[in-house]
Amino acid sequence: MGKYCYCRTTCFFFCAFFIIIITGYSSTKSAENRISGNTTSGAALVINEFLASNNENIADEDGDNEDWIEILNTGNEPVDLNWFGLTDREGDFFRWVFPDTTIMPGEFMIVWASGKDRSTPGKPLHTSFRIASAGEPLRLSDFNGNLIDTVPPVFLPTDFSYGRKPDGSDQWVYFTEPTPGESNTSEGVSLLLEPPSFSHEGGFYSEPFDLKLEAPDGYEGVRIFYTTDGSKPGPDNGTEYHEPVRIDDRTQEPNDISMIPTNRYSPDHQYNENWEEPSGQVFKGTVVRAVSWAPDSKSIETATHTFFVGDQLEERYQLPVFSLATDRDNFFSPDSGIYVNDNFWNRGADWERPVHVSFFETGGRPVLSQDAGVRIHGGTSRGRPLKSLRLYARRSYGETWFEYPFIPDAPVEKYKRFLLRNSGNDWRRTLFRDALMQKLVEHTTVETQYYRPSIVFINGEYWGIHNIRMRYDHRYFETMYDMNRDDLVLLEGDAGIKEGNESDRNAYLQLRDRLEQEDVNNPVIWRNFVEQIDFDNLRDYNIANIYFRNTDWPGNNIDFWRKRTNGAVDGAPEGHDGRWRWLLYDTDFGFNLDYDYVQGYQVEAEHNTLAFAIDGSGNSWPNPQWSVAMLRGALRNTAFRHDFIHRFADLLNTAFDADHVVGEIDKMKAVLDPHIDEHIRRWRGPETRAFWEEEVESMRRFARNRPDTQRRHIASYFNLPGEMNVTLDVNDPDGGYITVHTIDIDKDVPGIPDDPWPWTGIYFRDVPLTITARPNEGYRFAGWDGADSGSEEITIRTFESEMSLKARFEATDVSGSYTGEDEDKPSEFRIEPARPNPFNSKSTIRIALSHDTHIRCTVYSLDGRVAGRMHDGLLRAGYHDLRIDASNWASGIYIAVIEGGGLRETIPVTLIR
């Protein structure tokens, strides 16, 4: 056998050697044919033009704006490009090679530098690399590796190309109008100029000063032009710099753009939301924009700085500050300005305008300065005098991201887009109504937009308080969930498509219909729904809007999303499991907004929005039947209904607790308090400080009254016998804590005091309530006072109005692996039955280990799917409790499989909702 293998190996190497010899001979002959035949060598080829940052230039066959390289045959003969190389690396001539293709005399051939690596003859060609806009060499070589043409590294701004003019010459210029695939006949410049330097950085100053501008080093004959009105400077606009620019306090200068009406004037407007001119002179900064200019050159950037001069500005502006600079017409032209003359109703890219964004942290510290795009944002709030703005980072403006964490509480470090929100319908009331409501549920499963108030200036004039908020769109999901746009389904209202396709819409509508029609108490059917809908999110989302008394919902402001998947994805990262989830936004109608177009405003906290959100009314706003179908269908499931009732109670006892909510209101009010008077003078709304204080107090009043009325609504709607006070305590706060339904009684939970024990919450009689003792590391659960159970988890269903329980915890050894002396160690590997079993949401399996063992415990549904993994890792000798958390499972029978130490045991467990 060994001899046979040796012979076969020898034969293999002989054949391989023969093939190499033949192949080499064939390649040599092919090369000779290319040189001596009808095609010439590549000596006549040049890299004629290239573009390294493509935003609005031509697109490839996929519709992508990719970088490109243009090859020109300057000779009189065709050139066979087979095995010619293109590269952006030293010494690697064949990083990408041409296929068997020919470039004809005078032909301009485009090769996409996209990284897509496509080389099929007769089809668009794509290199395996991209071109860095910061500059890297380009090299074209023939099939023998002989260098034909090379271009040194060149920095190129977005949509600038670098090319020969005339074609094929040694003269290189920069083109602002590239000509891919055509002769370079557009106007070019030989020099790209850096912007002027400023002697002072933008920010807060207590004294006037002289600002000096200097041309970039290394250039002769450069002139500087600057503006102070927000527009871009140049030879045809602005002032040529000859002497320092005086930067002074401009407060007493006449108002300019703040005197422009920003919505249609009507003295009979029923909501008194007409534009009114400011009361007195608004505070003003100085925006200086400067550019370098010289013949046969192009400035690559306009330098922009905003200077604020005044007394104690750090105290005056304790919020961060945005300075937006743009040509006046971009905002205020009657024909094209996005802020005036009903133009603000227009949407889309045609109504995006360029703007320079400067951001100053508290104290006036500049942290961001970049060009961007801006649009008006919102629905009906576009018609208010003060409008919401949406900011865009795009490559066409320079930077592709806003590289700064504007909202410290948000889990992101950079933004593609963000909002400067006017507070919506609340813009003349408290200026933080929606922000408060979203803050109250930020810790739940509800998606929220986070919040930070700021001060905005436009072209140097004070523009008032704006709330920095995140925006829900495909970029949001890219940032928050690392999700590709092609995978995102985002619908609104009655399944209108924002992202996705018609089949996504139809699938949702069918799911919604099924939820109302099928037997949702059948475990198999319910399990199918659980795999498609995040019921915890649906529950929390509806509870939040109901508690808020948000009546511009659910027939409006309702968006929902999922990742497009082929069925349920067990163990997927957050948001990637394919289930539907809902987004919370624009809740401004809630918390006692008192306009007469707000349903229920007359009865304030008494308004029964529970029935409003479940029963629906008719087929139109605010709560048509389609808008309540999901919640109504889900509530038909007994387990979900019980969970919904007690989750509502959980939140009313904690995050919606009156004292906690009033505290949050007071904190948000305190942040705006130093700034509200100046805002009122600018916009004449809120009408007065006293009016603002009254509106804030109205929110406090709602917070105090809502929990009790909400509990009455719940008991009445679900025909419950009443409430029960549940008092919980622990014998040793260091030993552990207690979970009641979904809430951990822990100081880190919103609405739980720092020293919570004993803690009392209000729940509902005749609804199963699960209470669980949670021992800390180094402790074990020792039993309940007030309940005849040795299990950590107990489920209570009672008609009593009072209930008290105390969890007892006892210290274990340091590892927590077992209790007692060495002789108490288990003598064998033993698994005890699950307790409780059947169970409502949580059960425990105790195992005894005589020695350290790797234990794996997995729970399966009867159809073989993995329902959950309880443990997979090393456990020390002793007793251990493996907890089954079935909060999101459908009722039914499950199999717990425990493996370790060479043993495998299965334990059936029954979940009953």
- The first and second tokens of residue 684, run together, are 């004449």
Q: Is pLDDT of 772 > 50? A: yes
Q: How far apart are CA 734 and CA 738, in angstroms?
A: 12
Given pLDDT bands bounded at 50, 70 and 90, which one contains residue 266? low
Q: What is the pLDDT of residue 18?
A: 38
Given pLDDT bands bounded at 50, 70 and 90, which one contains residue 21? very low
Given pLDDT bands bounded at 50, 70 and 90, which one contains residue 848? confident
- CB-CB neighbours of 900 under 10 Å: 20
Mean per-residue pLDDT over the chain, rounded:
91
Q: How far apart are CA 138 and CA 88, in angstroms?
A: 5
- Each residue's pLDDT tens digit, 349-395: 999 999 999 999 999 999 999 999 999 999 989 999 999 999 999 98
Strand order in the sheet with 147-151: 96-97, 85-87, 138-141, 147-151
Q: For the ranges 128-142, 685-699, 869-883, which has the lowest average pLDDT?
A: 869-883
Beta-bridge partners for 883: 844
Q: How far apart are the first and last CA of the chain?
A: 67
Give 15: exposed, middle or buried? Use CB within 10 Å, 0-12, 13-18, 19+: exposed
Nearest partner of 295 among 379, 215, 235, judged by Cα: 235
Nearest partner of 261 among 203, 182, 339, 188, judged by Cα: 339
Q: Is pLDDT of 506 > 70? A: yes
692 sits in which H/E element: helix 689-717
Per the CB < 8 A criterion, the answer to whether 661 and 750 are in contact is no
Q: What is the pLDDT of residue 817?
A: 40
Q: Is pLDDT of 144 > 60? A: yes
Q: Is pLDDT of 912 > 90? A: no
The Cα-based distances of 308 to 216, 232, 368, 611 in angstroms read 25, 20, 16, 53
Given pLDDT bands bounded at 50, 70 and 90, which one contains residue 8? very low
Q: For the ranges 16-20, 577-581, 679-683, which has the lowest average pLDDT?
A: 16-20
Give 495: exposed, middle or buried? Use CB within 10 Å, 0-12, 13-18, 19+: middle
Q: What is the pLDDT of residue 828?
A: 80
Q: What is the pLDDT of residue 19?
A: 36
- Each residue's pLDDT tens digit, 781-804: 999 999 988 889 999 998 899 999
Beta-bridge partners for 809: 781
Q: What is the pLDDT of residue 528?
A: 95
- The first and second tokens of residue 694, run together, are 């009254």
905 sits in which H/E element: strand 903-911
Say what the pTM is.
Answer: 0.83
Q: Is pLDDT of 6 > 50? A: no
Per the CB < 8 A criterion, the answer to whether 108 and 184 are in contact is no
Q: What is the pLDDT of residue 722?
A: 95
For 785-809, give one letter per residue: b (16+ CB within 10 A) or e: eebebebbbbbbebeeeebebbbbb
Q: How far apart are CA 238 and CA 226, in angstroms?
A: 5
What totals of helices (H) and strands (E) does the chain contain, helices first? Answer: 14, 50
pLDDT average, residue stretch 70-97 = 94
Q: What is the pLDDT of residue 40?
A: 56
Q: Which residue has the tokens 């009313």?
A: 652
Q: How far apart are CA 179 and CA 112, in angstroms?
A: 14
Q: Is pLDDT of 93 > 60? A: yes
Q: Is pLDDT of 43 > 90? A: no
Q: Is the dihedral of CA 683, 687, 689, 693 positive or negative?
A: negative
Per the CB < 8 A criterion, the answer to whether 425 and 409 are in contact is no
**How is residue 381 annotated by DSSP?**
G
Q: Is pLDDT of 310 > 80? A: yes
Q: How far apart are CA 138 and CA 288, in angstroms?
A: 39
Q: Is the dihedral of CA 491, 496, 502, 506 positive or negative?
A: positive
Per the CB < 8 A criterion, the answer to whether 467 and 483 are in contact is no
Q: What is the pLDDT of residue 22?
A: 36
pLDDT average, residue stretch 499-513 = 98
Residue predicted with more confidence, 890 or 658: 658
Q: What is the pLDDT of residue 14?
A: 39
The Cα-based distances of 626 to 278, 355, 555, 580, 615 in angstroms read 45, 41, 8, 16, 10
Given pLDDT bands bounded at 50, 70 and 90, which one contains residue 813? low
448-453 LR contacts (CB < 8 Å, sep 24+):
448/584, 449/419, 449/584, 449/585, 450/407, 450/409, 450/410, 451/407, 451/409, 452/320, 452/406, 452/407, 452/408, 452/409, 453/319, 453/671, 453/672, 453/675
Per the CB < 8 A criterion, the answer to whether 469 and 418 are in contact is yes
Secondary structure (DSSP) of 400-413: SSB-S-SSTTSS-S
Q: 3-class DSSP state for residue 233? A: coil
**How is residue 823 annotated by DSSP?**
G
Q: What is the pLDDT of residue 697?
A: 98
Nearest partner of 293 among 212, 191, 197, judged by Cα: 191
Q: What is the pLDDT of residue 825?
A: 64
Given pLDDT bands bounded at 50, 70 and 90, which one contains residue 218? confident
- Each residue's pLDDT tens digit, 185-203: 999 999 999 999 999 999 9
Per the CB < 8 A criterion, the answer to whether 637 and 520 are in contact is yes
- Each residue's pLDDT tens digit, 798-808: 889 999 999 99
Q: What is the pLDDT of residue 448?
A: 98
Cα 523 to the center of its chain, rounded Å: 35
Q: Dmax over Cα atoms in the chain, in whole Å? A: 106
Three-state SS for 831-894 is ECCCECCCECCEEEEEEEECCCEEEEEEEEECCCCEEEEEEEEEECCEEEEEEEECCCCCCEEE
Per the CB < 8 A criterion, the answer to whether 830 and 824 are in contact is no
Contacts of 667 (CB under 8 A, 6+ apart): none
pLDDT average, residue stretch 277-304 = 96
857-860 LR contacts (CB < 8 Å, sep 24+):
857/882, 857/896, 857/897, 857/898, 857/899, 858/896, 858/897, 859/884, 859/894, 859/895, 859/896, 859/897, 859/909, 860/894, 860/895, 860/897
